[in-house]
């Protein structure tokens, strides 16, 4: 049962990473192509650049942790700490960036 919990944690983490990466794509497209303020594209503002960069960095780091953890899951060896860490990092990416 505990091994199934590890797999569920990594699966949830992977779903969160996928959602985060799609959000980064949407944010970047909006800031680069769709939105202007004060006669400039949104992406030209430093705070927006910070938000985009930090969001992508967090999603990429979470992806790396989830991918590494998923590769290590093996029926003969427990990966509870890694699975819990991957879930914690991947599902906690909603914290306010650049703050």
Predicted structure pTM score = 0.83
Query: Does residue 53 lie in a domain region?
Result: yes
Residue 11 lies in a domain: yes
Report the DSSP beta bridge partners of residue 36: 41
Query: Could you read off the pLDDT of 52-69 as tens digits, one per residue?
Result: 999 999 999 999 999 999
Q: Does 17 reside within a domain?
A: yes
Look at residue 61 and tell me if it is in a domain.
Answer: yes
Q: What is the pLDDT of residues 19-44, one digit of tens each?
A: 999 999 999 999 999 999 999 999 99
Q: Is 46 inside any structural domain?
A: yes
Is 97 contained in some domain? Answer: no
Domain around 8: 2-91
Measure CA 3 to chain center. 24
Task: Identify the pLDDT of residue 62.
Answer: 94
Q: Tell me the CATH number at 69.
A: 1.20.140.10
Backbone angles phi, psi at 76, to 5 degrees: -90, -5
How high is the pLDDT of residue 77? 81
Instruction: Supply the pLDDT for residue 20.
Output: 93
DSSP 45-64: SHHHHHHHHHHHHHHHHHHH
Domains in the chain: how many in total? 1
């Amino acid at each position: 049962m505990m091994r199934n919990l590890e797999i569920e944690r990594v699966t949830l983490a992977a779903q969160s990473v996928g959602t985060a990466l799609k959000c980064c794509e949407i944010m970047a497209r909006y800031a680069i192509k769709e939105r202007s303020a004060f006669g400039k594209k949104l992406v030209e503002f430093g705070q927006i650049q910070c938000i985009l960069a930090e969001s992508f960095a967090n999603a990429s780091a979470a992806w790396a942790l989830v991918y590494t953890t998923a590769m290590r899951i093996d029926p003969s060896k427990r990966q509870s700490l890694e699975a819990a860490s991957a879930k914690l990092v991947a599902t906690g990416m909603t914290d306010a960036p650049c703050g």
